[in-house]
Structures are given as C-alpha cells and as structure tokens.
Amino acid sequence: MFPATNPAADISPIRQTDRRIEDEPPLSIILEVGRLQWAVRLKVPPHEHGSPLSGRHLAQWVECQLGPPAHKQQFMFKGFTWVPDMGVWSTSLRALGVKNGDRIQLVSTPPLSSDWRDCERLDTAGRQLQTYRQTLARLTNQWNLILHGFKVQTSAVVALTKLRKDFEDMKTKLRKEIQTLSSLTFDYRNCLCQARRRQLVDATQRQIDKCTDVSGAIFQRLSLSHSMSRVGRLYPVERSVRPVR
C-alpha cells in the first residue's frame, strides 16, 4: 500500500508560477533622419509574447522601412547614443526613458533605401485621404438632412443639384488618389508600406462606391422633381439637324 497523500498539499511548481504574461502596450515615437520625420508605432510581435519593446524592434522597423541594416544603425536620444543589440538581451526602450511622443534620431552612415520618397508620399496620401473622408462625411450628413425633410437655405432642387456636383467632384479626387497610390514603387522587402497602400486603395474604392450610390439617388430625386413640376424635362430635347440638300 502506498502512503496516503494530501491532494491540497500536492501542488506542482508549474501551477504555482502559471500566470498570464501580458505584453507591453504599443509605443509611438517620432524617428528623425536629418530633416525627415517618420511616425513609428512599435508593437510586440505575436511570436515574442511577453518580451519588452527594445532597440531591436526599432532597428528591425528601420531596416524594413528605410533600408539601413541593423548592424550599421546608431540612435541618439537625449544626448545618449547607442548601437542596438539584435539579441534577446537588447535593452528595453522604456528602460532608457523613452515614452510616447519622444523623438529619436537615427545617425546612420549608409544611405536610405531607394523607396523612402515613396514612403513619404504614402504618408502624405494617407493624410489627404483622411481629409477627404471627413469632407465626405459632411456631404453625407447634408444629404441625410435633405432626405428627412429638414429646411435648407435654398430650394431643395438647387441644394440637391449642388450636392450631386460635390459628390461627383469627390469621386474625381478619390480616383486621382488611387492613381497616385498605384504609381508608388516599394522594395520587395518593404511589406509594411505595401500592405498600407493596399489598405488605402481598398478604403478609397469603398468611398468611391459610396459617392456613386448617393449621386445616383440624388439624380433619381431630381428626375422625379422635374417630371412632377412644370419646368419640363430635366434636359432639353436636342434639335434635329436638317439634312443638307
């Protein structure tokens, strides 16, 4: 017979140390390379669960986005200069005093990658599309007000005609932005910018589809209002040209 054991006292060391490890929150900083600036948002990769955000993650971002290899990078923060270690022993950025919104300078002798200008144009296009998105939301709000019968300063027909023209102009601007995004060329290793461009193109195409739907609905409203009024047809009948004898 084996001696009786107490189940309550039989606790393995694994159960005692089995605790959920949470990742560090993302870190948003500004990377300066001369007069150029990039907004960098560092996040712990899924395969490094529990690891702190270190200079290794910043060096990997720079190598992927700008081109200089990690072993030739050198950073400066508040007068302190360091070369990032690419191992698991790399110093944590928060241990160095880096916080959200801080500026870190990249001191690197190798030139940047050839697509850094396209990366800058991608950021500019993203900010421009954000402005267009806000304008489109304002136009949609005006359309909803007219649709629900709220009073407008002018007649409903004039307001709908101007609103339809604004939606058509917005479609033209969005299509130009898609052409600009399609003309950008990135290095095959720059997967982040490629994914960002794909995301912006898809979002812009959805906005164009929305403009098309609203513009078509406004056109139907205008056609109905003209057919029920005494002003005649929406477009005048083209005059027939007499044949030349």
Averaged pLDDT for residues 145-152: 74
Average pLDDT of the chain to the nearest whole number: 79
pTM of the model: 0.52
pLDDT of 215 > 50? The answer is yes
Instruction: Name residues whose C-beta falls within 8 Å of residue 46's C-beta, 6 or more positions apart in sequence.
Output: none
CA 245 to chain centre: 65
For 84-143, the pLDDT digits (tens) are 887 777 888 988 899 999 999 988 655 556 677 788 888 889 999 999 999 999 999 988
If we measure between CA atoms, which residue out of 55, 59, 47, 133 comes closest to residue 94? Answer: 55
Domains and CATH numbers, the chain: 22-106 (3.10.20.90), 116-228 (1.20.58.240)
Averaged pLDDT for residues 77-82: 85
For 189-206, the pLDDT digits (tens) are 778 788 889 999 999 999
SS3 76: strand
How far is Cα 53 from Cα 128, in angstroms, rounded to an integer? 31
